[in-house]
């Protein structure tokens, strides 16, 4: 009964091992599965033999046990895989042929005496066994068994001597399996036991092969468990155990790091001077020891870049290093980074250029506004003191012209408004007839100077009193008319003003300027309203101008919710039409705009300040500017002191307590900001005394700048009399 239990135990264990390899190994090897099936069948054959009742049953069970005779060839093929030894095809064919002969001999057992000469069914304690007299077929089996066993041992020995990428543990297990087979073979022949030891040897060898299969699944990257990129040519993979011993690597790894071929599998003996050690092993060791938490980085190898990832196996049983060629992306990234740096440099250069431009415009604004300040200031005195109607009329024209000039300068020099679109629309009541007359009086002489006919047609039924931004409309018309004059060599310019009622209390004005100039090419129409753009530069190289006029005009029209259209024919002329809607604020039409009120003589009654106790210090390095302020305030009852420099102002402020200081900014040696700071430092009483910036620096943001730096108020040059009186009135003690 114990023999039955023994055979049953071996059979059941073999079946369990078959199920284990099916469930534990995720990617099955057909050769390994066949090996376990044959072991299981052979062990069940031994059990059936022990339970046989007749000789026929015993012979059939005996044939089943001989499935184990094909295990040696399966072991040879499995060992060649485990040891990574590629067998020549003729050798495999020879082995298969010899085993085919063995199969024929086994199948003939019940039908001939080639394998067994005589067979009898014996009984031992109720257990059946086969009594055999061996024939030549059995001798063939023994010779083949010994030959295949020795051949399998040679495969293992060859891998130990020649193959560096074979795991030491794998070779050791295979060697143990070989020794078990030999020992069982000789033990059976020497002891002649009543039971077969072969089922036990089969079971032990199966356990060893299961260990190797499971271990290979864990560490062999060839199983495809690591990455779906294994088949890609640019994919590199290296497998390490928890002690950083090399477990496996693919062909691409050997191409990238040739030194990996010098490292034995299951070994951690790396050349520390190699790239493999510095790039991979050292990095993974830092991850293992907690000195580095970075599981992904870019590793340069030669002229290539590899995106490298370290994957930690479950329960930290090892590490898989995967590398993908990322050269193209990294090159593009470096190019992008370089472009970003170049853009940063370009941005810095642009900012510096912008600052230089701002400084230039500030300087230009200062230099231009200073003489205009004198012109407007003295013209103001003419208007106030002259009793000659003709002279005051001329002075009125000067006032209008300088006002228009200042409007143009404000927009051209104030680049921040032009570039940032921060232009303001300031609406007031105005007379359409006076505005048209002012524009015509300014532009007509320019046309006549070029022998051009300048015609003006105004619809007399248009309402005269309107509400809107008169200065902006004048700027629009002057820009368009200036272009017409500049680009017309002969013929005429026709300025036409018409309109039609809009919604209740409003009128839609239509300003048209037609010329017989050079016109515009079709391909240039798209650039017409771009800044600093000169169209048809070959033919227009002698035309003066910045190229800002139409760009500014278009922005103003858009800001006023109007429309600007162009009709042109190259070589024959153009028509620019501006349409704007304005509110009507009174009765009366334009009528005969040229002769009615040829010029309104301004009232000489001007607001003044009566504050004889008030002391004002005016600081400016330009004597003409000081004279203008003095004359403008000559009718007011004030005490004025003039300082020609910052040091002069400090001396006078130290000696006298003033109620107000009008301070220029840009002065030699000591500017207005520094002068104000020193005055307040030397005389604490001036901490509460208002300082008003009176400067030609009038670019966008100037008022905020001065108020943020300690000034109480701001006046730009040219000084407008009413604005000056209004500011001083705020600070009368």
In this structure, is the dihedral angle defined by the CA atoms of residues 113, 117, 120 and 122, taken in order, positive or negative? negative
Q: How confident is residue 407, by pLDDT bands cut at 50, 70 and 90?
A: low
Beta strands 563-569 and 610-619, pairing class: unpaired
Is 446 within a domain? Answer: yes
Task: Quote the DSSP letter at residue 566.
Answer: E
Name the domain boundary from 219, 253, 278.
219
Looking at the structure of the chain, the number of domains it has is 4
The answer to whether residues 621 and 567 belong to one domain is no
Mean pLDDT over 612-637 rounds to 91
Q: Using one digit for the tens of pLDDT, what is the confidence trace for 636-684?
A: 999 999 999 999 999 999 999 999 999 998 888 899 999 999 999 998 8
- pLDDT for position 315: 72
Separation in Å, CA 3 to CA 51, 122, 180, 200, 528:
10, 14, 21, 13, 109
The answer to whether residues 480 and 617 belong to one domain is no
The answer to whether residues 90 and 194 belong to one domain is yes
Of 587 and 661, the structure prediction assigns the larger pLDDT to: 661
The answer to whether residues 624 and 565 belong to one domain is no
- pLDDT for position 586: 86
Name the domain boundary from 269, 300, 325.
325
Q: How confident is residue 248, by pLDDT bands cut at 50, 70 and 90?
A: confident
Q: Tell me how far apart the alpha carbons of residues 565 and 514 are, in angstroms, rounded to a whole number.
A: 12
- pLDDT for position 617: 96
Beta strands 492-501 and 453-458, pairing class: parallel
Pair 44, 67: CB distance under 8 Å: no
Separation in Å, CA 48 to CA 54, 65, 440, 660:
11, 9, 127, 125
- pLDDT for position 662: 95
Q: Using one digit for the tens of pLDDT, what is the confidence trace for 343-383?
A: 888 888 877 876 776 667 666 766 777 787 778 778 877 87
SS (H, E, C) 23-85: HHCCCCCHHHHHHHHHHHHHHHHHHHHHCCCCHHHHHHHHHHHHHHHHHHHHHHHHHHHHCCC
Pair 65, 45: CB distance under 8 Å: yes
Is 304 within a domain? Answer: yes
- pLDDT for position 674: 94
- pLDDT for position 229: 46
- pLDDT over 60 (residue 607): yes
The answer to whether residues 203 and 288 belong to one domain is no
**Helical residues (DSSP H) of 414-548, grouped into ranges:** 415-420, 432-449, 470-486
Pair 678, 653: CB distance under 8 Å: no
Question: Closest by alpha carbon to 692, among 677, 672, 674, 678?
Answer: 672
Q: How confident is residue 125, by pLDDT bands cut at 50, 70 and 90?
A: confident
Mean pLDDT over 197-201 rounds to 80
Q: Which single residue is written with the structure tokens 């970003």?
A: 340
Q: What percent of the chain has pLDDT over 90?
A: 28
- pLDDT for position 404: 65
- pLDDT for position 532: 46
Q: Tell me how far apart the alpha carbons of residues 287 and 295 are, in angstroms, rounded to a whole number.
A: 8
Q: How confident is residue 218, by pLDDT bands cut at 50, 70 and 90?
A: low
Please report how the helices 549-559 and 470-486 are oriented relative to each other, as an axis angle in degrees rounded to 10. Answer: 150
What's the CATH number where 74 sits?
1.20.1070
Task: Quote the DSSP letter at residue 88.
Answer: -
Is 381 within a domain? Answer: no
Question: Closest by alpha carbon to 727, among 662, 641, 631?
Answer: 662
Q: Which residues pair with 575 in a beta bridge?
A: 514, 567
Task: Quote the DSSP letter at residue 463.
Answer: B
The answer to whether residues 215 and 263 belong to one domain is no
Mean pLDDT over 308-330 rounds to 86
Q: Tell me how far apart the alpha carbons of residues 662 and 656 are, in angstroms, rounded to a whole number.
A: 15
Buried b (16+ CB within 10 A) or exposed e, 457-466: ebeeebbbbb
- pLDDT over 50 (residue 518): yes
- pLDDT for position 510: 96
The answer to whether residues 631 and 579 belong to one domain is no
DSSP sequence for 533-550: --TTTTTSTT--S-S-HH
Mean pLDDT over 449-467 rounds to 92
Q: Using one digit for the tens of pLDDT, what is the confidence trace for 133-148?
A: 889 998 998 899 889 8
Of 503 and 170, the structure prediction assigns the larger pLDDT to: 503
| Dihedral pair phi/psi, residue 600, rounded to 5° | -75, 115
Q: Using one digit for the tens of pLDDT, what is the confidence trace for 541-550?
A: 444 444 456 8
Name the domain boundary from 297, 325, 353.
325
Q: Tell me how far apart the alpha carbons of residues 60 and 54 are, in angstroms, rounded to a whole number.
A: 10
Is 596 within a domain? Answer: no
In this structure, is the dihedral angle defined by the CA atoms of residues 501, 502, 507 and 511, taken in order, positive or negative? negative
Rounded mean pLDDT of the chain? 82
Q: Tell me how far apart the alpha carbons of residues 542 and 202 are, in angstroms, rounded to a whole number.
A: 106
CA 186 to chain centre: 75
Task: Quote the DSSP letter at residue 593.
Answer: T
What's the CATH number where 272 sits?
3.30.450.20
Is 154 within a domain? Answer: yes
The answer to whether residues 190 and 209 belong to one domain is yes
Q: Tell me how far apart the alpha carbons of residues 312 and 292 are, in angstroms, rounded to a whole number.
A: 13
Is 363 within a domain? Answer: no
Residue 17, judged by CB atoms within 10 A of its CB (0-12, 13-18, 19+), counts as buried
Question: Closest by alpha carbon to 220, among 201, 246, 242?
Answer: 246
What SS3 class is residue 17?
helix
- pLDDT for position 500: 92
What's the CATH number where 512 sits?
3.30.565.10
Least confidently predicted of 167-176, 608-617, 624-633, 697-706 = 167-176
Mean pLDDT over 274-296 rounds to 91
Q: Using one digit for the tens of pLDDT, what is the confidence trace for 142-186?
A: 899 889 888 888 888 887 777 656 666 666 776 777 677 777 766
The answer to whether residues 296 and 429 belong to one domain is no
Of 385 and 294, the structure prediction assigns the larger pLDDT to: 294
- pLDDT for position 669: 85
Is 124 within a domain? Answer: yes
- pLDDT for position 632: 87
Question: Closest by alpha carbon to 245, among 291, 296, 281, 275?
Answer: 281
- pLDDT for position 227: 44
Of 532 and 74, the structure prediction assigns the larger pLDDT to: 74
The answer to whether residues 188 and 269 belong to one domain is no
- pLDDT for position 601: 44
Residue 547: domain span: 425-584
- pLDDT for position 352: 81
Longest CA pairwise span in the chain (Å): 160
Q: How confident is residue 452, by pLDDT bands cut at 50, 70 and 90?
A: very high
- pLDDT over 80 (residue 521): yes
SS (H, E, C) 137-186: HHHHHHHHHHHHHHHHHHHHHHHHHHCCCCCHHHHHHHHHHHHHHHHHHH
What predicted TM-score, i.e. pTM, was given to this entire model? Answer: 0.41
- pLDDT for position 220: 54
What's the CATH number where 646 sits?
3.40.50.2300
Q: Which residues contact 428 (CB under 8 A, 6 or more apart)?
A: 467, 468, 469, 470
Q: Which residues pair with 298 in a beta bridge?
A: 307
The answer to whether residues 20 and 121 belong to one domain is yes
- pLDDT over 60 (residue 221): no
Q: Using one digit for the tens of pLDDT, what is the confidence trace for 15-64?
A: 888 888 777 665 556 777 888 888 899 889 888 888 888 988 888 988 89
Q: How confident is residue 531, by pLDDT bands cut at 50, 70 and 90?
A: low
Is 414 within a domain? Answer: no
Beta strands 318-325 and 304-312, pairing class: antiparallel
What SS3 class is residue 430?
strand
The answer to whether residues 92 and 190 belong to one domain is yes
- pLDDT over 70 (residue 411): no
Question: Closest by alpha carbon to 508, among 457, 559, 564, 579?
Answer: 579
């Amino acid at each position: 009964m114990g023999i039955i239990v023994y055979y049953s135990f071996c059979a059941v264990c073999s079946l369990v091992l078959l199920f284990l390899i099916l469930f534990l190994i995720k990617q099955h090897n057909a050769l390994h599965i066949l090996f376990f099936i044959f072991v299981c069948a052979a062990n069940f054959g031994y059990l059936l033999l022990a339970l046989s009742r007749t000789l026929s049953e015993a012979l059939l069970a005996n044939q089943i046990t001989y499935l184990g005779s094909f295990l040696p060839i399966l072991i040879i093929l499995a060992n060649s895989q485990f040891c990574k030894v590629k067998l020549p095809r003729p050798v495999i064919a020879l082995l298969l042929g010899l085993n085919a002969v063995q199969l024929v001999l086994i199948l003939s057992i019940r039908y001939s005496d080639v394998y067994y000469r005589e067979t009898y069914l014996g009984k031992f304690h109720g257990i059946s066994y086969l009594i055999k007299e061996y024939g030549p077929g059995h001798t063939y089996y023994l010779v083949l068994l010994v030959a295949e066993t020795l051949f399998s041992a040679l495969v293992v020995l060859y891998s130990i001597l020649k193959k560096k990428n074979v795991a030491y543990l794998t070779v050791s297990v295979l060697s143990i399996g070989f020794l078990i087979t030999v020992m069982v073979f000789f033990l059976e022949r020497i002891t002649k036991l009543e039971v077969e030891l072969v089922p036990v040897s089969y079971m032990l060898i199966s356990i060893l092969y299961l260990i190797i299969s499971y271990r290979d699944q864990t560490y062999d990257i060839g199983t495809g468990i690591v990455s779906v990129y294994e088949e890609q040519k640019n994919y590199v993979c290296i497998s390490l155990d928890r002690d950083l011993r090399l477990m496996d690597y693919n062909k691409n790894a050997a191409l990238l790091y040739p030194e990996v071929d010098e490292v034995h599998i299951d070994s951690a003996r790396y050349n520390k001077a190699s790239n493999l050690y510095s790039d991979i092993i050292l990095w993974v060791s830092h991850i293992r020891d907690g000195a580095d938490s970075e599981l992904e980085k870019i590793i340069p190898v030669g002229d290539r870049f590899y995106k490298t990832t370290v994957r930690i196996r479950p329960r930290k049983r090892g590490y898989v290093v995967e590398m993908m060629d990322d050269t193209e992306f990294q090159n593009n990234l470096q190019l992008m980074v370089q472009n970003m740096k170049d853009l940063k440099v370009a941005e810095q250069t642009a900012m510096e250029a912008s600052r230089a431009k701002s400084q230039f415009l500030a300087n230009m604004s200062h230099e231009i506004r200073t003489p205009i300040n004198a012109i407007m200031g003295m013209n103001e005195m003419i208007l106030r003191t002259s009793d000659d109607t003709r002279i005051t009329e001329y002075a009125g024209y000067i006032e209008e012209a300088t006002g228009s000039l200042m409007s143009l300068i404000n927009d051209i020099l104030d680049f921040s408004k032009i570039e940032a679109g921060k232009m303001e629309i300031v609406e007031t009541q105005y007379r359409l007839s006076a505005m048209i007359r002012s524009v015509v009086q300014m532009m007509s002489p320019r046309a006549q100077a070029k022998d051009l006919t300048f015609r003006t047609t105004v619809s007399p039924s248009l309402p005269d009193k309107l509400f809107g931004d008169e200065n902006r409309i004048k700027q629009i018309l002057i820009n368009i008319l200036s272009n017409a004059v500049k680009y017309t060599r002969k013929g005429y310019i026709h300025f036409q003003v018409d309109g039609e009622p809009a919604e209740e209390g409003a009128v839609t004005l239509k300003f048209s300027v037609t010329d017989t100039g050079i016109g515009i090419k079709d391909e240039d129409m798209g650039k017409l309203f771009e800044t600093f753009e000169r169209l048809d530069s070959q033919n227009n190289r002698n035309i003066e101008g910045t190229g800002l006029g139409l760009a500014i005009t278009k922005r103003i029209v858009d800001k006023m919710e109007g429309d600007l259209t162009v009709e042109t024919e190259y070589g024959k002329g153009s028509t620019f039409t501006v349409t704007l809607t304005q509110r009507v604020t009174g009765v009366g039409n334009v009528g005969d705009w040229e002769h009615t009120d040829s010029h309104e003589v301004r009232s000489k009654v001007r607001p003044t300040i009566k504050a004889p106790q008030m002391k004002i210090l005016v600081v400016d390095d330009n004597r003409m500017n000081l004279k203008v302020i003095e004359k403008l305030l000559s009718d007011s009852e004030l005490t004025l002191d003039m300082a020609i420099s910052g040091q002069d102002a400090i001396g006078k402020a130290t000696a006298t307590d003033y109620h107000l200081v009008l301070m220029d900014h840009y002065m030699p040696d000591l500017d207005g900001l520094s002068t104000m700071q020193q005055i307040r430092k030397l005389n604490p009483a001036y901490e509460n005394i208002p300082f008003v910036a009176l400067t030609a620096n009038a670019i966008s943001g100037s008022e905020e700048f001065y108020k943020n730096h300690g000034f109480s108020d701001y006046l730009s040059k040219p000084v407008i009399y009413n604005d000056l009186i209004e500011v001083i009135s705020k600070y009368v003690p």
